[in-house]
Structure 1
């Protein structure tokens, strides 16, 4: 088991579209606008009424974000297997709702698709946000971390076809405008600096990373978190800072590396001006990071991934990293074409991100063993309903489950729970590492008694 050096949670935003089931419909316009399609997806659940804020029994939060995007915010995790399982559980929970909606829409000849992608046809960008807890009094060098994220963005990107049909490594990289920002709605930054610790602010802070691509492949999900956690451990130790790279312009660097990872850009290493490529920055940074558990062999993935970037071998990790598999797929369907601007490539890209078990590609690739799974189907099924057992998500999830069974209303947040029916005192959950609570046990006993009455 790969235990992380901190509590971590992922948030994933999903794109939604709809199509006519029959190709003889005569219309190229979607039958439902995004708002109507999202409404259909959530029509089968009354959870938003019973449990404000959409918290689930697995400790996660499911809701509709700004811009009418479904969003799954996974529970707090302390080990890497839980991070992966919860990310895939979010996909499965969303697709379960879509399947119900599509069954209800069948008579109207309409089908909804949910895409775990990073941009839509209207120029909106969305993706994966990462949350990492660290000590309130621990200094973290944001310039060094942002520089590391700029390079990680390429290795852990989902791959993308740009407007001209050219291939790049990251969809989100094209939209990043700031190194840091407290306004994620208007600024696309590597890090959101708004202070929202969701915990005891005297003990913890929350690092909110907003630049990542949503990923379809389990190894990409694991690698992204693995690298961030290891580099944060390095920053927390505060040793060797003179050897860390700080890019002069991380926004310009990530846009340059998105098309050419081996282009050298200006940076500083300690007091020395230098030039560095994406693989060089990652390789040197990873070599400085403290060692730790690596149950999934991600250190080897890093080495092979950096070699592939350096050598320009975009298919070398097609069973593990999104950008590599997508490039292989697009190259196959676009054989003989000058680039990926054609209709076949565009459709294949959508199918790559489609959560549908019938129309998407991931399920077929997993079953054919073309993609490395990391966690099995039983782990994902468990993660859909049961929270991680070593964080406060366990307590939150138990309260949600008890309220569901007793048909009671509760107000629930990341750092508190409160039974509203009947009105009861709020219980604060200010320690993300707390998985036992006498107050929660008493509340659960109270709710269970109501269920029997």
Structure 2
């Protein structure tokens, strides 16, 4: 019983070219990927993506959507028309996801590492922006956020490996109240109410207003609280990959750490059949938005049994269920830290929400914006929206969050050195190690890769060789590090792997 499980974060970055609203965002995103890939000595498209095992229309409820009825945004198993798609030496995927550059972090085994490799993605995007903002080039800005404030939303998705045997209905019932309420801890804050910010005000979450239903397969329209995509990227009979689309992009380490850590622990409770409280909501989507629209955290939502609870009360109930499940036995340090920080942040939010400004994104942003309001700006002032957008600029000298972080305004859980190392190096304890090490050492011999395979194309072999990686905890440094150290060529590596 632990917080540790295979997990990861996918982040689509906002992109703009000031002064040219007519620019094609897909082509602009392709420039981002290509520029970074070239700077790393990788040709965009050189290490292409292996789509063989992609199944984006397979539904966890036991059926598959017909391609004829799918929205084009759901067809993630089709080749990117910009050909801007590269696997990085840290095991991550950098590519164009429709109209946005996306950094999909490598698989890790705990929330602290998830924070490290997610922040590494910020450095990747920062470097891409630097490369594309040279003198004489049209300006290009990148933002780690989830909406442009004008009606468009783009995702920060989480992925968690689960046991296939866990009934999906239990996942749905156990997670909906948790997801509806967890925004008090990990919301990133947004100026404006409504998908197009049509009402003045401030809310906890950038994503809440864009959700329309409780359960569904879609990710860009009719967004559901629980996404049903059944694409494990692992042994199908053993594993389920829970694809979570309801989260915000976090800058604060503590909020990001808790987003991943608390979700992993709640999944542990669900897998163990240890959900002891019925927290089912009468109207989950309405509750999600009502909670988001109230930074005082006083709004209560009605449960199916007639009770009315605030989001904090629901979170405390989940924390207690997790503690009951874990018991009083020995726990690993990362699990203990998640529990302690979860309790501390909830207590701060309950006592005075503004006291959590060092840990929680929406609180920190609101604290800044209140300063401008005290000087006379109204929520409806366009300057407030501009500040909101500027908060998430990836550039160290332009992004408001990064400038405040440099002055020590936030609690940091991971070191800058670890984040910098993660830009180039993969985690050592998942299959991402094999993927990243293969790209670094034998990139010219890799035709394609995916989460669960690497395809080698070497002159010594008549056909391409696909190396499957369906077990996420195989292909680690412990398993294959020495093989890479000894291999003088990709062919030699393959001969050893096939023999073993």
> After TM superposition, is the score higher than 0.5?
yes
Note if contact 1:410-1:421 (Cα within 8 Å) is conserved in structure 2.
no
Which of 433, 458, 466 is 1:426 aligned to?
466
Q: Secondary structure at the match of 1:346?
A: helix
Distance in 2 (CA, whole Å) between partners of 1:328 and 1:249 is 30
Written as runs of structure 1 = structure 2, the 5 A alignment for 1:226-305 is 226-239=261-274, 241-260=275-294, 261-268=297-304, 272-290=305-323, 291=326, 292-293=331-332, 295=334, 297-305=337-345
Q: Secondary structure at the match of 1:383?
A: helix
TM-score relative to the length of structure 1:
0.88
Distance in 2 (CA, whole Å) between partners of 1:186 and 1:340 is 28
Cα distance, 1:48 vs structure 2: 2.4
Q: Secondary structure at the match of 2:366?
A: helix
Q: Which runs of 5+ in 1 are unaligned?
A: 20-27
Note if contact 1:135-1:205 (Cα within 8 Å) is conserved in structure 2.
yes
Cα distance, 1:425 vs structure 2: 2.3
The change in CA–CA distance for 1:118 and 1:392 in structure 2 (over 3 A counts) is: same
1:56 and 2:88 aligned: yes
Match of 1:73 in 2: 104
1:123 and 2:151 aligned: yes
Match of 2:9 in 1: 10
Q: Secondary structure at the match of 1:6?
A: coil
Deviation digits for residues 157-214 of structure 1 (CA, Å, limit 9, x no counterpart) = 0011112330110010111112221122322112221210100011111111110011
Note if contact 1:158-1:170 (Cα within 8 Å) is conserved in structure 2.
yes
Q: Secondary structure at the match of 2:263?
A: helix
Which of 425, 447, 463 is 1:410 aligned to?
447
Match of 2:174 in 1: 144
Note if contact 2:120-2:423 (Cα within 8 Å) is conserved in structure 1.
yes
Deviation digits for residues 361-410 of structure 1 (CA, Å, limit 9, x no counterpart) = 23322221111121111100111111111111111111111223xx2332
Match of 2:83 in 1: none
Distance in 2 (CA, whole Å) between partners of 1:414 and 1:3 is 24
The change in CA–CA distance for 1:47 and 1:274 in structure 2 (over 3 A counts) is: farther
Distance in 2 (CA, whole Å) between partners of 1:84 and 1:141 is 24
Distance in 2 (CA, whole Å) between partners of 1:287 and 1:65 is 39
Note if contact 2:32-2:101 (Cα within 8 Å) is conserved in structure 1.
no
Q: Which runs of 5+ in 2 are unaligned?
A: 50-85, 494-500
Written as runs of structure 1 = structure 2, the 5 A alignment for 1:18-167 is 18-19=17-18, 29-30=20-21, 32-44=23-35, 45=38, 46-53=42-49, 54-66=86-98, 68-103=99-134, 106-108=135-137, 110-139=138-167, 140-162=170-192, 163=197, 164-167=199-202
Cα distance, 1:293 vs structure 2: 4.0
Match of 2:366 in 1: 327
Distance in 2 (CA, whole Å) between partners of 1:179 and 1:145 is 11
Match of 1:24 in 2: none
Distance in 1 (CA, whole Å) between partners of 2:395 and 2:2 is 31
Distance in 2 (CA, whole Å) between partners of 1:35 and 1:421 is 33
Q: CA RMSD in A?
A: 2.5
Distance in 2 (CA, whole Å) between partners of 1:180 and 1:93 is 33
Note if contact 1:3-1:78 (Cα within 8 Å) is conserved in structure 2.
no
Deviation digits for residues 424-453 of structure 1 (CA, Å, limit 9, x no counterpart) = 321111111112557994895542769xxx
Note if contact 1:199-1:430 (Cα within 8 Å) is conserved in structure 2.
yes
Cα distance, 1:3 vs structure 2: 6.5
Distance in 2 (CA, whole Å) between partners of 1:440 and 1:246 is 51
Note if contact 1:168-1:258 (Cα within 8 Å) is conserved in structure 2.
yes
Q: Secondary structure at the match of 1:42?
A: helix
The change in CA–CA distance for 1:222 and 1:302 in structure 2 (over 3 A counts) is: same
Cα distance, 1:289 vs structure 2: 0.0
Written as runs of structure 1 = structure 2, the 5 A alignment for 1:178-217 is 178-217=213-252
The change in CA–CA distance for 1:449 and 1:197 in structure 2 (over 3 A counts) is: closer
Cα distance, 1:334 vs structure 2: 2.7
Note if contact 2:442-2:489 (Cα within 8 Å) is conserved in structure 1.
no
Cα distance, 1:321 vs structure 2: 0.8
Distance in 1 (CA, whole Å) between partners of 2:346 and 2:378 is 24
Note if contact 2:33-2:44 (Cα within 8 Å) is conserved in structure 1.
no
